Structure 1
């Protein structure tokens, strides 16, 4: 097996390229929430249809996961990622000229497909190239994903104010895709194929109870992420905050996600049993949601801080739990693609449900309560992830 540790400079350039690619995986969704009231001023959108701008790309990510590994096997992981970056870039840039809710939604779905193809391939690539420190490098990759969300959430309102156009606030992130393409294309010679694992394909995971438990766990955790991404800024606008300040709060939350995404996997990297780390993250999320509901205007930065630290660590840890179940990179990659595929389908529905709750009950508070209940269920699920029993679930 090729291991990049043999060539430190190659490893550094490859990791930098992975980080630049990962920065492209959230701005197409994260820029929407902070600009939502401006978009709704120009394009007729209810809260339920606005939820489709987050929901449909996440659903597309779920569905595209299932053929992402297949595409990488046919055209190679390098070309697969080049193609996906092109799709994300074009979909994002197209928002300069969009005039209807339908066109916005189609651009979001196209970006979602591009995102999924990258996310299907990347965990297997990381497990192969950095097999001594998988938790650490998965943390870096996932942190870059959340860093892209933080950039878009914080700066999209600023770009809108400077240019007077929400369309530019949404489309400017295509520049990230161009930057990533340049760096990733330069890596073409350092990416030999990921080792095969015989006939074990994703279809095998459909009949596996542990694969489903991991997928549901990932999906419920990502539901918190997608709901907060879609609705935290509109929630603060309803509390009387300006769009720009609400966008900055979302940016602050995603910055906390970045911090946790870097630190948590580094802490977990030293332990075989990662349950206590994951349980701590879930408790932070519960405290964050309770504060958001009960005292949104008091110590108002504490609640996004707790939510960000919890959600930011939970995302990489959910993927690391899946990768830990299997030693072979191709099988582990297949499992994480299955987990993300099912998980994103679950998570994709959550912003729509939250938007419908808001339309029906006139407040996002009930949506936050529902998510708190979901996290309590996840605390019970964590007890099942004892590494001593991993091998027996995937014979």
Structure 2
């Protein structure tokens, strides 16, 4: 019994370190939406240009994902995360000094690269170090990502009110990156300084199933990035204050956190994830329809439904990808490919929604478009039969 406790303790501390690192993977984007009108009051920024603050980091995440596994194999898991957290922290801190939209966008891209390097290696790290609890640990990891978004969306407007500076409200999240960096550094005994460089590199571009998983992840993440970028501005246009709109986005991301914890734990009981995926897509469709048809009535219900759906869909998309391969390195390579292509797809969605808003004067058509995307995803779910996974990557 004593030996079990001794071996479990480092694993618990490592998982806590993973969760603290994950908290830093969204504040640089999530803090922007609730502060957008304050930023636009100081810097000339159309909705299309403002969408780049979410779009470009997500695109950078997609592109950097393809190099992330290679970099982590050269530097090792520990050093890759340390350097990435430092990049996120410095990019976030630099927002104290921005004077133009271009500088703001550059800071977003740099943070996006740091985020991507971490996201590329974490699924493989979790699958290799927590092999008996992959779905649960992936749930904790992804939930922490969304928890970081919830904290930033809720508290950024409060920082704006207390300091009178949107720059401070964007830059304060560098503190979180420094805390994570110190905690990750304390785990150096549980992580090797160098990674296994003998792992055979595998390309997934030729596998149609890898593309299906990537498109599925990308379309699902498109709903997440669009809501993250435009939910708060949508409600500000409806007459809400920035603080209340930010709290509403914080409430939605809190629902994502709950769903991200509960859904993977439920999914752990069966390898067939299709019923759960269908239920999650149904929640998202209901949330978007409510947002369009009755945004002011039952205004907490629609973000609740969206949050519960999106919060479960994000980790489940990655878990389904991990399910396809038993080897942790191959599964990590597949999830890096899925996220790389997926984030490139998802990165376009805030720009398209911003252009729709500029052209048509309303976000409603963007919400309708995303509702149609969810219907397409429901058809894709029918193909995720776990009995046939082994046939796709022989």
TM-score bin, normalised by smaller chain: over 0.9
Name the counterpart of 2:359.
Answer: 360
CA distance in 1, matches of 2:329, 2:32: 35
What do the CA deviations read for 1:119-164 (whole angstroms, capped 9, x no partner)?
0010000000100010000000000000000000000000000001
Three-state SS of the structure 2 residue aligned to 1:207 is: coil
2:75–2:195 contact (8 Å) kept in structure 1: no
CA distance in 1, matches of 2:306, 2:367: 11
Name the counterpart of 1:209.
Answer: 208
Three-state SS of the structure 2 residue aligned to 1:270 is: coil
1:52–1:105 contact (8 Å) kept in structure 2: yes
CA distance in 2, matches of 1:297, 1:160: 25
Name the counterpart of 1:162.
Answer: 162
Three-state SS of the structure 2 residue aligned to 1:206 is: coil
Name the counterpart of 1:288.
Answer: 287
Name the counterpart of 1:35.
Answer: 35
- The normalised TM-score by structure 2 is 0.97
Q: Over aligned residue pairs, what C-alpha RMSD do you find? A: 1.2
Q: Structure 1: any 5+ residue segments left out of the alignment?
A: none
CA distance in 1, matches of 2:388, 2:232: 42
CA distance in 1, matches of 2:35, 2:201: 44
What do the CA deviations read for 1:50-89 (whole angstroms, capped 9, x no partner)?
0000000000000000000000000101100000000000
Within-5 A mapping of 1:230-309 = 230-309=229-308
2:55–2:349 contact (8 Å) kept in structure 1: yes
Three-state SS of the structure 1 residue aligned to 2:139 is: helix
Three-state SS of the structure 2 residue aligned to 1:187 is: coil
The Cα of 1:188 is off from its aligned counterpart by 1.2
1:22–1:148 contact (8 Å) kept in structure 2: yes
1:127–1:134 contact (8 Å) kept in structure 2: yes
Following TM superposition, where does structure 1 have runs of at least 4 consecutive aligned residues deviating by more than 2 angstroms?
Answer: 192-200
Three-state SS of the structure 2 residue aligned to 1:82 is: helix
Name the counterpart of 1:378.
Answer: 377
The Cα of 1:272 is off from its aligned counterpart by 1.1
Three-state SS of the structure 2 residue aligned to 1:300 is: coil
The Cα of 1:197 is off from its aligned counterpart by 7.8
Q: Does 1:199 align with 2:210?
A: no
What do the CA deviations read for 1:137-196 (whole angstroms, capped 9, x no partner)?
000000000000000000000000000100010000000001001110011121136667
Name the counterpart of 2:315.
Answer: 316
CA distance in 2, matches of 1:130, 1:254: 26
1:195–1:330 contact (8 Å) kept in structure 2: no
Name the counterpart of 1:10.
Answer: 10
Q: Does 1:94 align with 2:94?
A: yes
CA distance in 1, matches of 2:77, 2:259: 28
CA distance in 2, matches of 1:142, 1:334: 18
CA distance in 1, matches of 2:106, 2:199: 37
2:234–2:363 contact (8 Å) kept in structure 1: yes
2:199–2:329 contact (8 Å) kept in structure 1: no
Q: Structure 2: any 5+ residue segments left out of the alignment?
A: none
